[in-house]
Structure 1
């Protein structure tokens, strides 16, 4: 219970925040059963701040880490905007970020590149383009 943590003087909003801090590593909140497994991209932040968190860098890191922890061969990505699938008629920024991150992470996962390259490519669009060119037609992990 979030209020109990607050009343106890804990600085964390939940287990994921605490684990992230204790182990000094990124942590992903995951919930699941045999039929459905969910990783939450934005956790413990007010709804008004969620759209600001959806960046190419943040989403790419999340998708890569989620795949590396689960090794699912097929994953879906749900958008924040309920109209994300309407091809930009209402909004569209989130959808473009999601498409770019999915393509980049797919290319990275199929490449023989290391984590150092991944971190560098997050900041360098030329490296992203080069990676995507080498990836064309090699299949995808993420839809």
Structure 2
């Protein structure tokens, strides 16, 4: 049976990404792994990790098995050799070229999914290129409205806003943006995770979800009207829920995913309990994209000691989502309605 083709970008060449990719290749993961990176960066990373990796140019052919320690390669050359721990803006275009190849390859059907290692946003911006992150880049490349989600085996958290200053968050949350975001999350929980009737817990923006307007009116004026309108369409939505109690075990039994209003409202909970097992997903794309939930760890770069657990988890989740997509596409109409998530947080754990 053909192995799924996973494109894996190496991220910032001066960070831990290349070493994580080498350690991923050393696992028995049942996938055709196509590294989108500079060959020499990977060879140097393998040497630092003390691992032998066989690199072969990707010719697009089907693999039915992959030996541990092998990688196919889409060579994307650096502008200058990397210095571990010291990102060089001259390599910013190289990083973006790897992302472009991954996205365009997925859109063209060359890859079944893309898995991304961490990059250094500041280095790309220092090169004079406007860049706010993987999520936004892929959204623009695919002309898609997207939502960021982080998921562990126990919990899924989507974000209504992502990389915004806290002062800018209230103005960014409108009835229209909430409606768009919840529709994407609901559709993707059904299509990618196989949850027939997703239950989504929506957090309030203010402490105690506004406490009846005494701690802010955003819940009354914006959140509740939007949620009620979507409930009228048949969505199963809880909330607005106070963020300080939404994650207790008794509450988790009642939902399949959480929508948080801003980045740091929910992600500390997720990362504190499952940092090495959490995966970043981009919902709303016409292809599967997963990633690590951490940064470039420049202080560890070049030591060969970085933990590959999150990249391995991202690759495993990509495979599960690919398998689910294949199963659904081969099922009779409505056959996916009985499906369950490949990893089943909340009530499904």
TM-score by length of 1: 0.70
Runs of 5+ consecutive residues of structure 1 not aligned to the other structure: 111-139
Alignment of 1:28-39 (within 5 A): 28-39=147-158
Deviates more, 1:7-16 or 1:60-69: 7-16
Please tell me whether the aligned partners of residues 42 and 50 of structure 1 are also in contact (alpha carbons under 8 angstroms): yes
Please tell me whether the aligned partners of residues 55 and 97 of structure 1 are also in contact (alpha carbons under 8 angstroms): yes
- The whole-number CA distance in structure 1 between the counterparts of 2:123 and 2:146 is 22
Please tell me whether the aligned partners of residues 161 and 172 of structure 2 are also in contact (alpha carbons under 8 angstroms): yes
Please tell me whether the aligned partners of residues 5 and 13 of structure 1 are also in contact (alpha carbons under 8 angstroms): no
- The whole-number CA distance in structure 1 between the counterparts of 2:220 and 2:201 is 13
RMSD: 1.7
Per the alignment, residue 200 of structure 2 pairs with 75
Q: What is the CA-CA distance between 1:39 and the residue it aligns to?
A: 0.6
- The whole-number CA distance in structure 2 between the counterparts of 1:34 and 1:95 is 33
The answer to whether structure 1 residue 3 and structure 2 residue 128 are counterparts is no
- The whole-number CA distance in structure 1 between the counterparts of 2:171 and 2:145 is 19
Shift in CA distance, 33/25, structure 1 to aligned 2, threshold 3 Å: same
The answer to whether structure 1 residue 101 and structure 2 residue 226 are counterparts is yes
Per the alignment, residue 54 of structure 1 pairs with 173
Runs of 5+ consecutive residues of structure 2 not aligned to the other structure: 1-119, 239-349
The answer to whether structure 1 residue 45 and structure 2 residue 170 are counterparts is no
Q: What is the CA-CA distance between 1:17 and the residue it aligns to?
A: 0.8
Per the alignment, residue 253 of structure 2 pairs with none
SS across alignment from 2:216: coil
Q: What is the CA-CA distance between 1:12 and the residue it aligns to?
A: 2.0
The answer to whether structure 1 residue 141 and structure 2 residue 236 are counterparts is yes
- The whole-number CA distance in structure 2 between the counterparts of 1:32 and 1:93 is 27
Please tell me whether the aligned partners of residues 207 and 215 of structure 2 are also in contact (alpha carbons under 8 angstroms): no
Shift in CA distance, 2/81, structure 1 to aligned 2, threshold 3 Å: farther
Computing the radius of gyration from Cα coordinates, the structure with the larger value is 2
Per the alignment, residue 136 of structure 2 pairs with 17
* Greater relative contact order (Cα < 8 A, sep 6+): 2
Q: What is the CA-CA distance between 1:79 and the residue it aligns to?
A: 2.3
- The whole-number CA distance in structure 2 between the counterparts of 1:95 and 1:14 is 32
Please tell me whether the aligned partners of residues 83 and 91 of structure 1 are also in contact (alpha carbons under 8 angstroms): no
- The whole-number CA distance in structure 2 between the counterparts of 1:37 and 1:95 is 25
Q: What is the CA-CA distance between 1:44 and the residue it aligns to?
A: 1.8
After superposition, what is the alpha-carbon deviation per residue over 1:30-57, rounded to whole angstroms, capped at 9, x for unaligned?
1001210011110122211110011111
